[in-house]
Amino acid sequence: MYGSGSTLASGVRIDGGDLYVGTMDAQDLIGSTLYLFATESDTMVTVDNMIVRNSGTNQVVLASSYGTAKPFLHLNNVAVFDTRSVKVKRILEFETLVAMQGTSLGTLYNPYALTEWFSTYDNFKRAIRLVGGTLLPAVFIVEGSPEGTITAPIGRLAMRTDGVAKATFYVKESGTGANGWIAK
């Protein structure tokens, strides 16, 4: 996708459907490269390789949902390059908690040190699944303690972005739902 800086240049918008993209290459887009708005549960969007050059004003990827509809966004390899004087504000933005909880991220290459994730209304703690799944062991990055925030089976791992000594790495050792996380 090549936007040549046009004020109307945006990437892909998905409203309720599924999408698989092998490689998405975006350059000079003003709007988001990918906007996912789930209108029904189990919307599945997968991008194996996303290369973004000088695109976006607020965000590169925007994930949102309607009501309780839970999207599943899988970004496997993402590289964001921004040589503009005014750079994109963030790479991933989540408008809703369920959109964030359904997102998984593989490799993120961010050589310009852009803000990597953000919640639009700042009304929920940010947490993203890096690897794993429902049955496979998962690793999460979370803002604050995962206790009461991340719902996961026993055996999952979480790392805090704002941790301190003996409260940075957590293991889900017991309980169901979002309880049973123990700091290590």
Which region, left, alpha or beta, applies to residue 8 given φ > 0 means left and ψ of -120 to 50 means alpha? alpha
> Residue 5's pLDDT is what?
62
Order across the sheet with 34-38: list the strands. 12-15, 34-38, 59-65, 90-94, 115-119
CA distance 125 to 150: 10
Identify any residues that bridge with 13 across adjacent strands, giving them in sequence order.
35
What does pTM read for this prediction?
0.76
CA distance 51 to 61: 12
Closest CA to 22 of 41, 51, 49: 49
> Residue 26's pLDDT is what?
93
> Residue 87's pLDDT is what?
95
What letter does residue 97 receive in the DSSP assignment?
H
CA distance 88 to 74: 21
CA distance 11 to 35: 8
What is the mean pLDDT for each group of 10 consecutive residues in the chain (184 residues)?
76 88 93 91 92 93 88 92 95 88 87 88 71 73 88 88 88 90 93
